[in-house]
Structure 1
Amino acid sequence: MNDSVPSLATDQQVSQPPQPSRARRLAQLLLQGDRPYALYFAFAILLVVFSVASPWFLSIDNFLNIGRQTALVSIIAIGMTFVIIARQIDLSVGSTLALSGMSAALAMAYIGDNWFIGAVAGIGTGAVVGLINGVITTRLNIPSFLVTLGTLSAARGLALLLTTTRPVIITNDSFISIFGEGDIAGVPVPIIWTGLAVIGGILLLHYSVFGRQVYAAGGNPTAALYSGINIRRVTTLAFVLTGMLAGVAALVLSARSHAARPDVVQGLELDVIASVTLGGCSLFGGRGFVLGTLLGSLIIGTLNNGLVLLGVSSSLQLVIKGAIIVAAVAFTKK
């Protein structure tokens, strides 16, 4: 007689929780945030209002124009998302863009008239500025607000010194086509570069170990440190990534302008930070997602475009845009 008691595991199948489908995981990513539908609802309202108010708004050409206009902010804002999630901030991105553009143009003028040389010089310059920001912030324990405020001034001043405030003309047709005026299947290349930055940002932030470390470093630095995460390295890499994307934006702007100017995009960092926070990223770190940042950038770009089409004065545009951004951030905050 067998007195052994059969195991429940042998008599019953242990039920496993169903795994979410890819479509469901994508929907969860799209609807992240404390008020998941607020941002999409706000964007839809803007589209409806401007479509009714202006006969020129609802057209493919105008939407492509919005994509071109928001490319610089969108590309840099992807990197800024990493920095802010890591509980830091980068005020130097506009000056980094100007310096990177000058570096790219000068490299093609004096080293070799090749678009690849210009691209490496521009993106490399952005990476160096980001590395400086990250190292000083993490190694000297100086708040990133103060560090990047300093590099904002230093990078802009260096860009002005390189050519004594004169622009550098770009004549390389390949560079202009690849980064500024070309298109793929009718889609302008600035929008293509924005799409690539968004896809890369999503993969890096939401589907990689580095992305999880960024969330941990910003959400709970003490716990992250005890978990073996090198917070200094993670934070520095976030700054480097932002600098590199500022370099990519510099290539796009220089190619569209056929020249690099040291005095461009002053105040761009404010639109970048506004896009990130409007997209649901917390300035206290640990929260944010790339698609939200992109949508925040598109909301600001659509608002600018619609107000111009309606003939609103530039001064009133600033008032309206500021009020809407403050209201939207207040509504979607934690």
Structure 2
Amino acid sequence: MTESSSTTVAAAAPPRARQLVSQLLQGDQPYMLYVAFVIMLVVFSAASPHFLSFDNFLNIGRQTALVSIMAVGMTFVIIARQIDLSVGSTLALSGMCAALAMAHVYDSWLVGAVAGIGTGALVGFINGVLTTRLAIPSFLVTLGTLSAARGLAMLITDTKPVIITSDPYIELFGETTFLGIPAPIAWTLLAIVIGILLLHFSIYGRQIYAAGGNPTAALYSGINTRRVTTLAFVFTGMLAGLAALVLSARSHAARPDVVQGIELDVIAAVILGGCSLFGGRGFILGTVLGSLIIGTLNNGLVLLGVSSSLQLVIKGAIIVAAVAFTKR
């Protein structure tokens, strides 16, 4: 290689690196997220001697795993100018189906995984079809499936929990470690990587930005906006199913009444991460950071002895503030 050609390659490398970073950090003001997160770490570290420890950070990672996994999918839905209020109920129903499949079909982690993720995908497909084909606002559709999925989860077992006896299932999704990383955090990282590849490095990602940013222009440019939106709901349902596997494995059982209200945390994480409720804008790493901010806030408030009711008030105020910031 000649000296001039090597100089050209060296000069081309930094722009490519900058392009990669810009694709991952597509928020208008991503640095505000990092500043807010650092300030929160400093405040809680000064207020509680137990906050700044490796074990506590692992606890935060475990505690935010469910929200982070589902928030990755919710990012796609909100970028498409929709919303999914049913993710918590989808998680509960998916967990019940996974446990029942292993109890009555075959006690295998693979059967449970297929049943759980498949149930989530089915609920997401129903949400997507009703929203796009019948032109019903996704808020109303998912409000209905929120109630229906939760009711079905209670109905199929008469509100009783289903014990999980598959040790490989419990180990794989709840208790083992991958290269020293606890299973819930490892599955969260996998969901994040898949979300980044789909949203920022695929044709589908460009289509969903177009469909959410300007649906009419996207339609006239040849994008099947119905299919793109439906797939966003399906992907969100699948990740809700994955979150159900993680939760049921950690609990050694599936319960129909779990994680009620978790959709509040999921939506808060996505909006805090820079995703616009009006569609067309958002990025995965921002969503993850938003989830970590919510998880760190919960963890810090618990260490400081703040009541659970006040925690709900604070999280609600954060959502309102984030939406107000988004409209500016």
Q: Considering the TM-score relative to the shorter chain, is it more than 0.5?
A: yes
Structure index of larger Rg: 1
Which residue among 42, 49, 53 is the counterpart of 2:43?
Answer: 49
Which residue among 27, 33, 41 is the counterpart of 1:33?
Answer: 27
1:36 shift after superposition: 2.6
Structure 1 CA distance for aligned equivalents of residues 315 and 137 of structure 2: 29
| 2:24/2:196 contact within 8 Å kept | no
3-state DSSP of counterpart to 2:52:
coil
**1:88 paired to 2:82:** yes
Aligned to 1:219: 213
Which residue among 142, 162, 173 is the counterpart of 2:136?
Answer: 142
Aligned to 2:284: 290
1:137 shift after superposition: 0.8
1:324 shift after superposition: 3.8
**1:261 paired to 2:250:** no
- The CA deviation string for residues 74-96 of structure 1, in whole angstroms up to 9 with x for no partner, is 00010010000001111111110
Which residue among 125, 142, 152 is the counterpart of 2:146?
Answer: 152
Corresponding pairs, count: 318
Which residue among 161, 166, 190 is the counterpart of 1:167?
Answer: 161
Calculate the TM-score normalised by the size of structure 1: 0.92
Aligned to 1:318: 312
1:185 shift after superposition: 2.8
Any residues of structure 2 matched to 1:189-268 within 5 Å, and which?
189-268=183-262
Structure 2 CA distance for aligned equivalents of residues 319 and 127 of structure 1: 32
- The CA deviation string for residues 173-226 of structure 1, in whole angstroms up to 9 with x for no partner, is 100010011112321100000000000000000000000000000001111011
Identical aligned pairs, as a percentage?
81
| 1:34/1:332 contact within 8 Å kept | no
Letter in 2 for 1:301: G
Structure 2 CA distance for aligned equivalents of residues 31 and 122 of structure 1: 32
Structure 1 CA distance for aligned equivalents of residues 144 and 151 of structure 2: 11
**1:71 paired to 2:65:** yes
Structure 1 stretches (4+) deviating beyond 6 angstroms?
none
Structure 1 CA distance for aligned equivalents of residues 67 and 125 of structure 2: 21
Q: CA RMSD in A?
A: 1.5
Larger helix percent: 2
Aligned to 1:60: 54
Q: 1:23 to 1:288 in 2, by over 3 A?
A: same
| 2:268/2:318 contact within 8 Å kept | no
- The CA deviation string for residues 52-86 of structure 1, in whole angstroms up to 9 with x for no partner, is 11111111100000000000000001001000000
Calculate the TM-score normalised by the size of structure 2: 0.93
Q: Gaps spanning 5+ residues in structure 2: where?
A: 1-10
